[in-house]
Amino acid sequence: MKHELLVPAGDMASLQQAIANGADAVYLGCQNFGARKFAANFTNEELVQGLKLCHLYGVKMYVTMNTLVKDNEVPMFLGQIEFLYKIGVDAVLIQDFGMLCLVREKYPNLEVHASTQANTSAKETAELFYNLGVKRVVFSRELSLKEIESITVPIEKEVFIHGALCISYSGCCLMSSMQGSRSGNRGECTGSCRLPYTLKKEDRVIEENKYLLSTKELNTSRHFTELLDSSITSFKIEGRMKSPEYVGFITRLYRKLIDTYNQDPQLEEENDALKTIFNRGFTDGRLFNCTDEELMNTNTPNHIGLEIGKVLEVTKDKIKIQVDRELNQEDGIRFLTSGKGLILNYLYDESGKLTNSIPAGGICYVDNKVELTDKDTVCKTLDHKLMENLKVLPPRKVNVTFKVTAKLGKPLNMLISDGTNSLQINGEVVQMANTAPISDSRIREQVEKLGDTPFISTATIIESDDNIFINIKEINELRRALTTNLINVRTNSNKEILVNNITLEAVTPKMETGISVYGRTEDQVSVADRLNANRIYIDDKSNYKGYRHKENTYYVLPRVLFEPTTELERKNIVSDYFDFSQYEGIIGNYGLNVYNIYTAYYLYKMKVQSVTLSVELTEDEIINFINTYVNTFKVYPNIEVLAYGRVENMIISGNILNLKEKDYTYTLTDPKENIFPVFYDGRLTHVLNYENKKLEKIDIIKKYATIRIDFFNEDSKEALSIIKKYQ
């Protein structure tokens, strides 16, 4: 099968690098609604310009509309979607479930991909999206290649093959939002996972001030044959925040691996060069079943570079270095242990004379501008020559063929074809030559003079009579007219526009109020039962079985299961998407990211009994949600709102902190001295928020919603007091 190389474009320069170096498709963001808000991104005018450039070279453009959308933003979101649809983008990527369903109904022939933020971690999630008409899913980076191959849903598969990794499942991380009100689900992630943390068990320090949540960079280049042999449609590179030169280099690397079927003899050399552009250490990732230790770099979250030598001697003014790789003026270096770095504005040879370059094996001196005091390992973090070379875009040409028909007494005919489009044009009537006739080789020579056009001829067929005359100027004019017309055809992205006028009729379950309680311990559950909580959520299966017969008890379905429905109990509260319409007694947890009334509406259509609103919504936004739902559907929604409890900030595949299973005495402390409970359940590591979420406008909200209490380590006395407070 033909595999697509999908490349990030954070700005126009990166887009040009991606195209020139062999991308089959690019993904990029608008000024709003993209999950990389702090990339330069594209204005609408730039989108039109970029789309023409992409389509000229046969490159597809996918636009990321993959943030969660608040109710007051829906008109703007749909307006941007319609703009993208009308200019002819090849697909949009969406996370928000309500917007995904709405777009599929309103614009039925607009191609939609489920973003990685939509967290497709199960076959049943992929099936749901397929049945909704989604063309492609971007699978969670936690899935292995074997698991992805076992998903036989007839939907296009897209996976990340290179770049930065989120430590939490995408779309499930609330760390940045809870710490600083900048939501990763809204494209505003502050990179909380790249901060140093101290791990404690009770009061005992296990790891101090280490980057315990910081991953290495994904790099699958050494396993690429396995990917090429897979059923994966699209190979995706992460990096909309990276430099254009990075985009160009990484595109070229994987283009070569695809085209040579991973037979690149210079792969190690290419990876060494890559280390000078960006390198946190490389991992094969969960895609190839890496261990927890192989995934993480707890020493630094920053660019390490390529190790190139050792410090031999340090003085106040100079640093003496032995290099085992070439070092040049204007290169950047970093000393690995100290973390100090500098740009080499001046480079001195062993005799102390200024030089432009030191060969591998040589000794040099650099100015001690960073006040280095100890011997250290030297890493190159910037290869000046490489970066300058990468600024020069390689030419990319579109293969075309020509056919020229030159018959006496008939108009000269020239045809051009790019394999999809065929255009032809007629010239003057072909005349008999009076003196020297034109040869087929001369015609071919003129036809194939494509110069600075985006085309290159792979074949030119000539059908001509003998002893004919054709003016060279005429051949040139016909060729120029054809290439201009072909450019216009290739860059014309007009498609049939279908916009449905849809009417949404409420199918809302009856509004409920009261108290729901999530109990992690038997004492907490027992207290909730004794106080007649309207609903009780239990995550311990053995504990749940003792209450299974009660109508108000629900099992908390574990998150990101590969086969979630095999674990369902009689009644369940769920955090991941699958076809809920096949089951009774489903409550939607806040992991479903209900931000707007449309997500709630489509969940109700799938027979979900009640939905928990996103914990990222403010109290005013919750009240606005209720009012908007009533104004739209003329009924009250059946919702829950978390009033008290520790939000689950992260869920992480594996036991990256090496915790004892189901031991709830571990904590992580961040640089601001916030303390986060953390535990390992045997499959996932959970990071809870440092403080309990509490509602201030509880008296207003409890009139229209079920108020939810989440317990963690509260004892029975505390649980009793808290429940009574909210009843």
pLDDT, one tens digit per residue, over 559-609 is 999 999 999 999 999 999 999 999 999 999 999 999 999 999 999 999 999
Confidence of residue 41 (pLDDT cuts 50, 70, 90): confident
Edge-to-edge strands, sheet with 341-343: 341-343, 332-335, 377-382, 306-314, 318-323, 363-367
- Domain assignment present for 643: yes
Residue 187 has what pLDDT? 87
Pairing of strands 398-406, 411-417: antiparallel
In this structure, are 412 and 316 located in the same domain? no
- Domain assignment present for 210: no
In this structure, are 141 and 273 located in the same domain? yes
In this structure, are 470 and 322 located in the same domain? no
- Domain assignment present for 498: no
Mean pLDDT of all residues in 335-357: 95
- Domain assignment present for 299: no
Q: Which of 465, 328, 318 is nearest to 388 (CA)?
A: 328
Mean pLDDT of all residues in 18-28: 98
In this structure, are 479 and 534 located in the same domain? no
Q: Which of 724, 679, 236, 308 is nearest to 515 (CA)?
A: 724
Alpha helices in 421-570 (DSSP H): 440-447, 472-491, 522-530, 541-545
- Per the CB < 8 A criterion, the answer to whether 629 and 636 are in contact is yes
For 393-429, the pLDDT digits (tens) are 999 999 999 999 999 999 999 999 999 999 999 999 9
In this structure, are 12 and 155 located in the same domain? yes
In this structure, are 446 and 593 located in the same domain? no
In this structure, are 183 and 39 located in the same domain? yes
Of 198-207, 290-299, 689-698, the range with the lowest mean pLDDT is 689-698
Mean pLDDT of all residues in 5-27: 97
Which residues on adjacent β-strands are paired with residue 198?
669
Maximum separation of any 2 CA atoms in the chain, in Å: 111
Residue 34 has what pLDDT? 82
Which residues on adjacent β-strands are paired with residue 667?
200, 677
Mean pLDDT of all residues in 692-705: 93
Counting residues of the chain whose pLDDT is more than 90, the rounded percentage is: 93
CATH number of the domain bearing residue 594: 3.20.20.380
Instruction: Check the CA dihedral 580-581-584-589 and report its sign.
Output: positive
Domain end among 289, 315, 341: 289
In this structure, are 612 and 530 located in the same domain? yes
CATH number of the domain bearing residue 330: 2.40.30.10
- Domain assignment present for 41: yes
Domain end among 439, 460, 491: 491
What distance in Å separates the CA atoms of residue 468 and residue 405, rounded to the nearest whole number? 12
Backbone angles phi, psi at 18, to 5 degrees: -60, -45
In this structure, are 184 and 274 located in the same domain? yes
Mean pLDDT of all residues in 24-43: 88
Domain end among 359, 390, 421: 390
Task: Tell me which residue range forms the domain holding 458.
Answer: 398-491
In this structure, are 445 and 382 located in the same domain? no
Q: Is 361 exposed, middle or buried (0-12, 13-18, 19+ CB in 10 A)?
A: exposed
- Domain assignment present for 52: yes
Ramachandran sector of residue 302 (left: φ over 0; alpha: ψ -120 to 50; beta: rest): beta
For 243-290, the pLDDT digits (tens) are 999 999 999 999 999 999 878 788 999 999 999 999 999 999 999 999
Backbone angles phi, psi at 521, to 5 degrees: -120, 160
Counting residues of the chain whose pLDDT is more than 70, the rounded percentage is: 100
In this prediction the pTM is: 0.95
Q: Which of 397, 325, 418, 336 is nearest to 372 (CA)?
A: 336
Strands (E), 240-383: 282-283, 306-314, 318-323, 327-328, 332-335, 341-343, 357-358, 363-367, 377-382
SS3 content of the chain, % helix, strand, coil (to 5): 30, 30, 40
Residue-wise DSSP of 26-67: EEEEBSSS-S-TTS--B-HHHHHHHHHHHHHTT-EEEEEE-S
Centroid of chain to Cα 653 = 18
Strands (E), 529-669: 535-538, 553-556, 572-574, 586-588, 610-612, 639-645, 648-653, 666-669
Per-residue DSSP letter, 607: T
For 707-722, the pLDDT digits (tens) are 999 999 999 999 999 9
Ramachandran sector of residue 614 (left: φ over 0; alpha: ψ -120 to 50; beta: rest): beta
Strands (E), 121-252: 136-138, 156-163, 197-201, 204-210, 217-219, 234-237
Per-residue pLDDT at 37 exceeds 80: no
Q: Angle at CA 429, nearest 5°, toward 426 and 433?
A: 130
Cα–Cα distances (Å) from 319 to 353, 384, 404, 498, 666, in that order, read 14, 20, 68, 67, 44
Which residues on adjacent β-strands are paired with residue 65?
94
What distance in Å separates the CA atoms of residue 321 and residue 378, rounded to the nearest whole number? 8
Q: How many CA atoms lie within 13 A of 688 on its CB side?
A: 18
Q: Which of 593, 592, 589 is nearest to 537 (CA)?
A: 589
Mean of the per-residue pLDDT values of the chain: 96
For residue 269, what are the contacts with CB-CB under 8 A and spacing of at least 6? Answer: none
In this structure, are 413 and 444 located in the same domain? yes
What distance in Å separates the CA atoms of residue 665 and residue 171, rounded to the nearest whole number? 27
In this structure, are 374 and 412 located in the same domain? no
Per-residue pLDDT at 507 exceeds 80: yes
- Domain assignment present for 680: no
For 86-117, the pLDDT digits (tens) are 999 999 999 999 999 999 999 999 999 999 99
Mean pLDDT of all residues in 73-88: 96
Per-residue pLDDT at 40 exceeds 90: no
**Domain count across the chain:** 4
Residue 13 has what pLDDT? 96
Mean pLDDT of all residues in 649-672: 97
Per-residue pLDDT at 179 exceeds 90: no
- Domain assignment present for 152: yes
What distance in Å separates the CA atoms of residue 220 and residue 661, rounded to the nearest whole number? 31
